[in-house]
């Protein structure tokens, strides 16, 4: 039969379906499409989905939204790869029923239409199973015997008849969108979680003495008590000696300088070894187990680079960039020089063994309990490599999470997310004004990026001490922590942030006395720390489903651009938060904030009670509300709507 139906403009469909969309287990995945046919006949449209590799499809009818736009939803219930498509066919029964109804209402003779209806029921019965066969044939008989047109219409208008006819309808002109579209369904931690970055060697108590992994475990209860879900470790591998960097990235190391963990490899091993100063692989496994006992997971840095002492430099010099004189080229980012690091050459003629060796590194750490990898500078490696290695590993281990440290051009960041990275660092670090934050959040949550790009809002990193923290000190740390924790379902801090560390190298966005090049010893309970705030933020996040989503953010107007004001509501509408954050770490700020009544679940002029989840204070609010925020003392309100009057 000639196809009459067209299916167009499906969403989500990342780059027209070239890449899979993303979701987490339990999400309501809503699919829309334009579906229409020539002529005036009615059509039936359904959404079909299944786990990739399954034979049978699940189906659900789609709802007509108007203007040939249709919508349907499903909830994937497993951490796996799914696929979905849309089917449409001419709905002969609906077409006949619409015409029959109009003629009956117009008092037109419908004897011919009644015969047509009987035939539709009989044809459906011929395709039906025994129980449905009886019901359909009874309907045909009742249609034939009905004493008048109104009675006949009553017979065929029952919802049960519509269901039976749909289930057993002829679908001669069925059209299915091909190929099916992909959907990666990750576990919930892929979207919602709090990350804490720490150097194990700096968790000791003796200045200049590196802590072992076993000693670093003593710090884990403190991290868990703050409410973190992920402990992210920089590389734990042996560190090279050749051209080892000294303090503050000095070209020469002094005796006892530990070197950068990103200068990977020495005679003790490479990427599949643990630095002896930290312990053994058994100690690493014990550390992972200690995290699990505290309901946390370990994320491990995956950095594809080697020190000149790495075993590969001797075993496989062809895997690196070589100068004309045969020496290996070290890494450079002018004016910076990284003589302690070699980058691998992905285009080496010996490419296949290299790529497999790099995958084997990940497999090694997976076997030792790692399910989360933070990938260092993925934008400097081939896209095709990431697509290959992530697809291959997630097919065997769907629980894996990959975080892209890609502070790079927007299109490159987006491409890495499409190719398989679960999460990405973002530009949040440099978005400070109300306009910047609103525009960036709108891009992340409304532009289509939300179909595949899941942000991780780190407030700081060992490489990046943003200007706002340098200038604003502890008050800036407080407000940035609230922003990161409430705007994005996933956020992170680098250790020392909770102590307000903010001294930079002069003129640089880098920490003075960087932990990358020396061992730190800190008093984690030093006066003035913001551990109580961070603990409270993480508790609020876990207790309020409204903060588990990205796309539900709704920015609300104020008369002061130094205050960001927004709402978040849970999917079921039972959890509504109104959040105001000062963007000024120096001076008090005040504003009148407007809340549309429907957001609070009241009518025009209605009043309601809100509780500040940070302070415990209770306020009565309406459409227009006064807010005053103080740097340091009261940088934000996180208000939960609790009672309507």
Phi and psi angles of residue 347, each rounded to the nearest 5 degrees, phi first: -100, 15
Of the residues 229, 283, 301, 376, which is catalytic? 376
Distance CA 175, CA 5 (A): 7
Question: Please, what sign has the CA dihedral across residues 477, 481, 484, 486?
Answer: negative
Cis amide prior to 12 (ω within 30 degrees): yes
How do strand 181-186 and strand 21-24 relate by DSSP bridges?
Answer: parallel
Kindly state the tokens that stand for 218. 């003593």
Distance CA 73, CA 106 (A): 38
C-alpha dist (Å) from residue 86 to 32, 38, 49, 314, 412: 9, 18, 9, 55, 31
Kindly state the tokens that stand for 2. 């000639």
Catalogue the E-assigned strands of 28-170. 29-37, 43-51, 58-61, 63-66, 69-74, 80-90
Q: Is 456 exposed, middle or buried (0-12, 13-18, 19+ CB in 10 A)?
A: buried
Reply yes or no on whether 609 is catalytic.
Answer: no
C-alpha dist (Å) from residue 195 to 378, 408, 489, 636: 19, 21, 11, 21
Of the residues 405, 498, 501, 584, which is catalytic? 405
HEC readout, 207-218: CCCCCCHHHHHH
C-alpha dist (Å) from residue 475 to 73, 437, 457, 467, 642: 44, 18, 18, 13, 29
Reply yes or no on whether 376 is catalytic.
Answer: yes
C-alpha dist (Å) from residue 264 to 270, 308, 386: 6, 9, 20
- Would you list the DSSP string of 296-354? -EEEEEE--EE-TTSHHHHH-GGGB-B-TTSPBPEEEETTEEEEEEEEB-TT-TTHHHH
Cis amide prior to 179 (ω within 30 degrees): yes
Residues with active-site annotation = 376, 405
């Amino acid at each position: 039969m000639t196809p009459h139906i067209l299916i167009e403009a499906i969403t989500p469909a990342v780059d027209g379906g070239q890449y899979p969309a993303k979701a987490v287990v339990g999400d309501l995945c809503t699919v829309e499409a334009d579906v229409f046919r020539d002529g005036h006949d009615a059509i039936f449209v359904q959404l079909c989905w299944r786990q990739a590799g399954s034979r049978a499809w699940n189906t659900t009818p789609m709802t007509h939204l108007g203007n040939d736009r249709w919508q349907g939803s499903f909830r994937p219930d497993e951490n796996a790869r799914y696929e979905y498509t849309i089917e449409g066919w001419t709905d002969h029964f609906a077409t006949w029923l619409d015409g029959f109804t109009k003629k009956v209402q117009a008092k037109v003779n419908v004897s011919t239409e009644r015969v047509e209806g009987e035939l539709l029921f009989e044809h459906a019965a011929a395709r039906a199973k025994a129980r449905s066969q009886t019901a359909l044939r009874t309907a045909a008989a009742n249609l034939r015997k009905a004493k008048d047109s109104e009675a006949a219409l009553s017979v065929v208008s029952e919802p049960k008849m519509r269901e039976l006819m749909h289930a057993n309808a002829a679908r001669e002109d069925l059209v299915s969108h091909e190929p099916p579209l992909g959907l990666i369904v990750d576990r919930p931690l892929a979207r919602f979680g709090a990350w804490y970055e720490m150097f194990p060697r700096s968790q000791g108590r003796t200045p200049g003495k590196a802590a072992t992994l076993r000693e670093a475990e003593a710090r884990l209860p403190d991290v868990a008590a703050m409410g973190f879900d992920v402990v992210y470790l920089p590389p734990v591998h042996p560190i090279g000696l050749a051209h080892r960097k000294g303090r503050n990235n000095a070209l020469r190391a002094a005796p006892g300088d530990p070197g950068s963990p990103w200068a990977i490899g020495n005679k003790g091993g490479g990427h599949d070894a643990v630095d002896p100063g930290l312990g053994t692989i058994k100690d690493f496994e014990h550390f992972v187990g200690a995290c699990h006992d505290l309901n946390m997971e370990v994320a491990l840095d995956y950095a594809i680079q080697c020190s000149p002492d790495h075993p590969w430099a001797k075993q496989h010099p062809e895997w690196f960039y070589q100068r004309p004189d045969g020496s290996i080229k070290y890494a450079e980012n002018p004016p910076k020089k990284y003589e302690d690091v070699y980058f691998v050459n992905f285009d080496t003629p010996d490419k296949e063994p290299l790529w497999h060796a790099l995958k084997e590194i990940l497999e090694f750490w997976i076997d030792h309990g790692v399910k989360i990898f933070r990938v260092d500078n993925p934008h400097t490696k081939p896209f095709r490599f990431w697509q290959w290695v992530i697809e291959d590993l997630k097919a065997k281990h769907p629980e894996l999470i990959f975080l892209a440290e890609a502070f790079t051009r927007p299109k490159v960041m987006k491409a890495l997310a499409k190719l398989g990275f679960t999460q990405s660092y973002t530009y949040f670090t440099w978005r400070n004004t109300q306009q910047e934050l609103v525009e960036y959040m709108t891009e992340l949550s409304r532009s289509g990026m939300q179909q595949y790009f899941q942000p991780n809002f780190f407030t700081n990193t060992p490489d990046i001490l943003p200007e706002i923290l340098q200038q604003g000190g502890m008050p800036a740390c407080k407000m940035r922590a609230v922003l990161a924790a409430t705007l994005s379902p996933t956020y992170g801090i680098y250790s020392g942030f909770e102590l307000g560390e903010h001294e930079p190298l002069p003129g640089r966005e880098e920490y003075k006395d960087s932990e990358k090049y020396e061992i730190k010893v800190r008093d984690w309970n030093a006066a003035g720390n913001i551990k109580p705030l961070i603990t409270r933020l993480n508790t609020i996040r876990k207790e309020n489903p409204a903060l588990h989503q990205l796309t539900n953010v709704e920015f609300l107007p104020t008369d002061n651009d130094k205050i960001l004001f927004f709402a978040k509501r849970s999917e079921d509408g039972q959890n509504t938060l109104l959040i105001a954050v000062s963007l000024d770490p120096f001076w008090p700020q005040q504003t009148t904030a407007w809340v549309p009544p429907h957001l609070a679940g009241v009518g025009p002029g209605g009043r309601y009670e809100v509780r500040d989840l940070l302070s415990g204070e209770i306020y009565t609010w309406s459409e227009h509300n006064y807010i005053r925020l103080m740097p340091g003392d009261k940088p934000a309100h996180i208000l939960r709507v609790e009672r309507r009057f």
